[in-house]
Chain A
Amino acid sequence: MTEKKRFIILLILLLLSVALLIFARGHLGRLAV
C-alpha cells in the first residue's frame, strides 16, 4: 500500500472517530428529566 492510500484511509478513520466523539459526548447517558 502506498503512503498516499494509507493517508486517505487514515483520514476516513479520523473523520469516523470525530463523528464517534461527537455522538458519545452528545448522547452517552444523558439524563433527560
Chain B
Amino acid sequence: MHKQLLSWRHANNFLTIAIVAICLYVIVPPIVPGVQFWFAERLGIHNSIQFPIYSLPATRNTKSTQKPRDNRVEIPSAHINELLVQGATTRSLNNGIWVIPHTSTPDAGSNTVLAGHRFMYTNQLFYNLDKVKMNDVVAIFWQGKEYNYQVTSITVVPPSAVDIQNPTEQSTLTMYTCTPLWTSKNRLVVKAKLIYKES
C-alpha cells in the first residue's frame, strides 16, 4: 500500500514537472527577444550584430569592419542582422529573410521586397522590426556589394495590400512582417530609399 502511494506520488511529480516545462516553453520564448533587446539597449550590448554597420561606409572605420560575404540585411537600430534567402515558396522564410520572388534585387534597382517571420518558435528574424525609426539606416549586402537605405516610411497595412510589392522608379527597399506581435492580423511595412551604392 505504501509502495503504491509512492508510485502515484512519483507519477504526479513527473507530470507536474512536465506541465511546468511545457508552459515555460510556450510562454518564455515569445518574450525573450524583446527582453534581450531591452537589456542590450540599456547595457549597450549588441550581441546580434556581428558586423558593426552603424553608419554610412564613408564615416565608418574600415579597418575594424569586416564585410560579410553572404547576402545579408542589417538594421543596427533594431539589432537585426540576418541572412537573405531566395526561393520560390514561403518555406524560404524558415531559413532567413526572404527576398520575395518577382520583385527586384538591390543591384537591379526598383523595389526590393523582404519578408520575415515576426515570431515563431524556430525563428524570430523580424521580431524587432517595430523598433526601426524614420531615417534609420539599413544596410544590405548583396553579392559582395553594400547598399545603404534610409527609412522613409513605417506603416501598418492589411495582408491584402499587395501593392507594397509594386515596382518603383527609384531604388527602394520594402521590408515587412506581421503585426501586432504574435499575430498575423496585419503587416508592418518599412520602406527605405537607396542612399549609397558600392561601386
User: Which residues of chain A come closer than 8 Å to B8, judged between CB atoms?
Assistant: 3-4, 6-7
Residues of A1-33 contacting chain B, CB below 8 A: 3-4, 6-7, 10-11, 13-14, 17-18, 20-21, 24-25, 28-33
User: Which residues of chain B come closer than 8 Å to A31, judged between CB atoms?
Assistant: 90, 93, 115-118, 177-178, 184
Complex-state Cα separation, A30 to B115, whole angstroms: 12
User: Would B25 and A33 count as touching, CB distance under 8 A?
Assistant: no
Complex-state Cα separation, A11 to B12, whole angstroms: 9
Given A31-B117, A33-B100, do A17 and B19 touch, yes or no (CB 8 Å)? yes
Complex-state Cα separation, A11 to B116, whole angstroms: 37
Complex-state Cα separation, A31 to B177, whole angstroms: 7
User: Which residues of chain B come closer than 8 Å to A20, judged between CB atoms?
Assistant: 22-23, 26
Which residues of B are interface residues toward A (Cβ below 8 A)?
5, 8-9, 11-12, 15-16, 18-19, 22-23, 25-26, 30, 90, 93, 98, 100, 115-121, 159, 177-178, 181-184
Between A and B, 22 residue pairs with Cβ closer than 8 Å are A3-B8, A3-B12, A7-B12, A10-B12, A14-B15, A20-B23, A20-B26, A21-B22, A25-B120, A28-B30, A28-B121, A28-B182, A29-B118, A29-B119, A29-B120, A29-B184, A30-B178, A31-B90, A31-B184, A32-B159, A33-B98, A33-B100
